[in-house]
């Protein structure tokens, strides 16, 4: 069993890692199912938000290397190089590419791939006593899943090297202070804070939010001229939506808009 629960309700796609006995580590089957779920969500007009979480005391302790290396047969040389781009790396790319807001709820450990899932999400909300950890050097190998790209952009080079080269964990409160995640709250308040944020996003103008997300991520590697060109295209598309017309009507009528994600 992959240990992944996938449900949809009220426009929210809930992806719940359900392997608490393994600290919610991800076997290859679960990674593949997450990729498939996000690819399907990208073209599902009924969805408004993606929520990624873990059941139990921990969010995700990373890839399940025990399961990956179980059995007597050794993989061919180059197996990691061939497999990673279509598994863990594809998963991280999808979280950033999908034109739906992604919320990640973190309690306990978010290590390795689990840490990167949180960082690639649009809004990671964590318990203040949670732990973000990239333990690669502690195991004698190098990072993957976009660690060397995402982390320096979020926290700066010096702090990224502290986490990547020294393998030091960071608690949720510090992660929020560093700008690594959206917000840290007391553990008892985590579910409520996540539900409130998901509800706000689910009630928003989904097309405009998705285009804005796409623009922000694309602008990280381009100049201002490229960014403004992308903004003009996004503005053209978003101004043709029903939500745009509703937003204007609500403004004129001095009421809250009722966006339908269309």
230 and 163 share one domain? no
Residue 214 sits in the same domain as residue 191: no
pLDDT at position 246 is: 97
Mean pLDDT of all residues in 95-122: 98
Inter-residue contact 49 to 12 (CB < 8 Å): yes
**Residue 159 within any structural domain of the chain:** yes
Residue 258 is assigned to a structural domain of this protein: no
Confidence of residue 1 (pLDDT cuts 50, 70, 90): low
Query: Are 33 and 161 in the same domain?
Result: yes
CA of residue 125 relative to chain centroid, distance: 11
> Phi then psi for 4, rounded to 5 degrees?
-125, 125
Instruction: State the pLDDT at residue 82.
Output: 85
Does residue 31 sit within a domain?
A: yes
Q: Given a cut of 80, is residue 97 above it in pLDDT?
A: yes
Q: What is the pLDDT of residue 79?
A: 82
Position 67 scores a pLDDT of 56
Domain boundary (169, 186, 202) is at 202
pLDDT above 70 for 65: no
Percent of the chain residues topping a pLDDT of 90: 90
Do 47 and 131 sit in the same domain of this protein? yes
Query: What percent of the chain has a predicted confidence (pLDDT) above 70?
Result: 96
Specify whether 197 is located in the same domain as 244: no
Residue 172 has pLDDT above 60, yes or no: yes
In a domain, residue 261? The reply is no
Q: What is the mean pLDDT of residues 35-46?
A: 97
* Domain at 56, CATH number: 3.90.226.10
In angstroms, the CA 10 to CA 28 distance is: 29
181 and 224 assigned to the same domain:
no
- The verdict on 45 and 169 lying in the same domain is yes
DSSP assigned state of 73: P
221 and 167 within one domain: no
State mean pLDDT over 107-129: 98
Q: For residue 70, is pLDDT > 60?
A: no
User: Does residue 262 lie in a domain region?
Assistant: no
Q: Is residue 259 part of a domain?
A: no
- pLDDT tens, 175-203? 999 999 999 999 999 999 999 999 999 99
Residues 246 and 198 in one domain: no
Residue 191 lies in a domain: yes
Task: Provide CB contacts within 8 A for 113, sequence distance 6+.
Answer: 26, 31, 60, 62, 63, 88, 91, 144, 145
For the segment 139-148, what is each residue's pLDDT rounded down to a tens digit?
999 999 999 9
Same domain, 189 and 210: no
Q: In this structure, are 221 and 170 located in the same domain?
A: no
Task: Please give the residue range of the domain that contains residue 74.
Answer: 4-202
Across residues 22-48, what is the average pLDDT? 96
Q: What is the DSSP letter of 239?
A: T
- pLDDT at residue 2 in the model: 78
What pLDDT score does 76 carry? 84
Q: Do 45 and 126 fall within a single domain?
A: yes
Angle, helix 88-97 to helix 206-219, in steps of 10 degrees: 120
For the residues 116-122, what does the mean pLDDT come to?
98
Question: What is the pLDDT averaged over residues 56-71?
Answer: 79
- Number of structural domains in the chain: 2
Angle in degrees, CA 38, 96, 218, rounded to 5: 140
């Amino acid at each position: 069993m992959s240990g992944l629960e996938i449900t949809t309700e009220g426009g929210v796609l809930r992806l719940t890692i359900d392997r608490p006995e393994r600290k919610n580590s991800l076997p290859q089957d679960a990674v593949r199912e997450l990729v498939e779920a996000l690819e399907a969500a990208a073209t599902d007009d009924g969805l408004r938000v993606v929520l990624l979480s873990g059941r139990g005391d921990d969010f995700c302790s990373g890839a399940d290397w025990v399961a990956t290396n179980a059995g007597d047969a050794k993989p061919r040389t180059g197996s990691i190089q061939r497999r990673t781009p279509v598994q863990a790396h594809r998963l991280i790319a999808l979280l950033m590419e999908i034109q739906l807001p992604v919320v990640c709820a973190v309690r306990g450990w978010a290590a390795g791939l689990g840490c990167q899932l949180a960082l690639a999400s649009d809004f990671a909300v964590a318990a203040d006593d949670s732990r973000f950890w990239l333990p690669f050097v502690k195991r004698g190998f190098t990072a993957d899943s976009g660690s060397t790209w995402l982390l320096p952009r979020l926290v700066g080079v010096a702090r990224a090297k502290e986490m990547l080269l020294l393998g030091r964990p960071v608690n949720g409160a510090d992660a929020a202070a560093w700008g690594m995640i959206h917000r840290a709250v007391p553990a008892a308040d985590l579910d409520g804070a996540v539900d409130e944020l998901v509800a706000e996003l689910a009630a928003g103008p989904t097309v405009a939010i998705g285009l804005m997300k796409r623009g922000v991520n694309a602008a990280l590697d381009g100049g201002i001229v490229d960014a403004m060109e992308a903004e003009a295209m996004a503005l053209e598309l978003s101004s043709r939506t029903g939500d745009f017309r509703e937003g204007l009507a609500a403004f004129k009528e001095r009421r809250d808009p009722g966006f339908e994600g269309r």
